[in-house]
Amino acid sequence: MSDEVNILANEEIDYAITMVPEFSKLFRSETIDRSHMDVQNGADFYLGATWATASNFFTFDFAKRFRRAPALQDNLVLISALYRRNPEIKDAISRLGLL
């Protein structure tokens, strides 16, 4: 199942990367009060939002696909994939002119 978990983790990361421009719209919006978020720079916000999106969708889709919650070992597959693909995530953020 490890290969299946790895495939799912990377699918979710792919999706999260495509969402970076949407995060940008939210963070750059003049109507959003970000002061309560204590965000020091936009790049950190986008990185966190991308990781959170991938993690959330991984948890939801894992449960739908395998009919159980992800175990620690499954979550470690996702975390490893996120760290491995962090340069790709940062590149997507950089393309928005934020790094």
The pLDDT tens digits of the residues spanning 6-15 come to 999 999 999 9
Closest by Cα among 84, 76, 81, 68 to 10 = 81
In three-state form (DSSP H/G/I as H, E/B as E, the rest C), the secondary structure along 52-71 is HHHHHHHHHHHHHHHCCCCC
| The pLDDT value given to residue 18 | 94
Amino acid found at 40 = Q
Residue-wise pLDDT for 42-99, tens only, equals 778 889 999 999 999 999 999 999 999 999 999 999 999 999 999 999 999 998 876 5
Q: What pTM value is reported for the model?
A: 0.85
